Amino acid sequence: MWNRWCTARRFQTRGPCLLGCGNSEGDDIAHYCCCPVTREVCKRRLRLDPEVYATLHAFLLVHPSIGSKEDLAALGLLQYGIYCITNGRRKRADNCIGDAFDAVAQSIVEGAKGHSKAMNTLTNRWSRRMQFIELPPIRLVQWHDSLCRLQALRSR
Which residues are near Zn ion by CB under 5 A? 17, 19, 21, 23, 26, 35
- Considering beta carbons, is residue 80 or 101 the nearer one to Zn ion? 101
CA distances 83 to 28, 42, 80, 86, 134, Å, are 11, 15, 5, 5, 27
- Considering beta carbons, is residue 43 or 69 the nearer one to Zn ion? 43
- Given a contact cutoff of 8 angstroms between Cβ atoms, the answer to whether 121 and 74 are in contact is yes
Q: Report in angstroms how near the CB of residue 113 gets to Zn ion at its nearest.
A: 26
- Considering beta carbons, is residue 54 or 112 the nearer one to Zn ion? 54
One-letter-per-residue 3-state SS of 16-55: CCCCCCCCCCCCCHHHHCCCHHHHHHHHHHCCCCHHHHCC
Q: Report in angstroms how near the CB of residue 38 gets to Zn ion at its nearest.
A: 7
Q: Report in angstroms how near the CB of residue 107 gets to Zn ion at its nearest.
A: 16
Q: Report in angstroms how near the CB of residue 36 gets to Zn ion at its nearest.
A: 6
- Considering beta carbons, is residue 17 or 122 the nearer one to Zn ion? 17
Distance CA 118, CA 73 (A): 6
- Considering beta carbons, is residue 26 or 50 the nearer one to Zn ion? 26
Q: Report in angstroms how near the CB of residue 77 gets to Zn ion at its nearest.
A: 19
**Which helix (H) or strand (E) is 115 found in, with range?**
none
Radius of gyration of the chain (CA): 18
